[in-house]
Amino acid sequence: MYFNHVIEAVGNTPLVKLNKVTDGIKGTVLAKIEYFNPGNSVKDRMAIRMVEDAEKAGLLKPGGTIIEGTSGNTGMGLALAAIAKGYQTIFVMSDKQSKEKQDILRAVGAQVVVCPVDVAPEDPRSYYSVAKRLSQETPNSFYPNQYDNLSNTAAHYDHTGPEIWEQTEGKITHWAAGVGTGGTICGVSKYLKEQNPDIFTLGLDTYGSVFKKYKETGIFDENEIYPYKTEGIGEDILPKNVNFDVIDQFIKVTDQDAAVMTRRLAKEEGLFVGWSCGSAVHGALEYAREHLKEGDTMVIVLPDHGTRYLGKIYNDDWMRAQGWL
């Protein structure tokens, strides 16, 4: 058996039990290791779905250009789909993202445009605005808009959720994920709650993001928005893919706690994962220590791979400069 193209290898990623970082926690804590996807992240799933749905709808035509704002991982998934299907790619990123992410995207043939992070989403210099403008100016282009494109959620409802349900033989009791665009957590949660409404969904947010306050009060509080370093989770907007009805609770995690846990996952579990993976595990274990019981099974998604962060959290000098080592 062989695949006709690398994008056919997306999905069916393993569940791995966490052993050392979960010391003292009752129940079983499993990690869904998404770096086994060919683009090394969970975003491969929704990137391919957005492209295929756009093709069906006639929004993406032969020889077209895919233009997207990305923190890096969605860009990689879209780039792999573009290579398989014969499209060009332009990706717009904020200057907060690691240089590795920019270099990886260039390596797979993408044009990369870098924008300042410390501007409002509606500012014409923001990566949201620049991506939209480029898509309007470029003939025969498609702007997936991962934040509001519901193909994002659908990919996880149709595939990631059923995978987790089957891999745990229906024994999952808690589902935890970092929240950025919202597609992963909400697509999986919707599917799992349809199988068992008692499954608890925990969203991991970061300080500097609006999600937790909005879930708890229904207020979009601009005072919650301030710069943070963690990449890939949290937002200063409310994406359409974030369905607050299927997320039961949010916990916020600091940049430092996330970075330190990411390093622990590498050293203690052999899981060389990305920064937001540490956010997800730190926050999920904080919840698990108080609430998980014997017989419970928690699944945490680990979205990407450590190679994206070699110059940051896996660099001792950088960590010391932050005062985190």
Enzyme catalytic residues: 43
Phi, psi of 75 (to 5 degrees): -60, -40
DSSP assignment, residue 227? -
270 in Cβ contact with 239 (< 8 Å): no
Phi, psi of 307 (to 5 degrees): -60, -20
Q: Tell me the pairing of strands 174-178 and 111-115.
A: unpaired
Distance CA 92, CA 132 (A): 10
Nearest to 77 by CA among 35, 45, 109, 111: 45
Tokens of 294: 């014997």
213 in Cβ contact with 224 (< 8 Å): yes
Residues 122, 106, 5, 138, CA torsion sign: positive
Distance CA 3, CA 137 (A): 36
Contacting residues for 32 by C-beta, under 8 A, at least 6 apart = 13, 14, 15, 160, 163, 164, 299, 300, 301, 302
Question: Is residue 5 within a helix (H) or strand (E), and if so which, with residue range?
Answer: none
Q: How many Å is the maximal CA-CA distance in the chain?
A: 58
Distance CA 181, CA 237 (A): 9
251 in Cβ contact with 283 (< 8 Å): yes
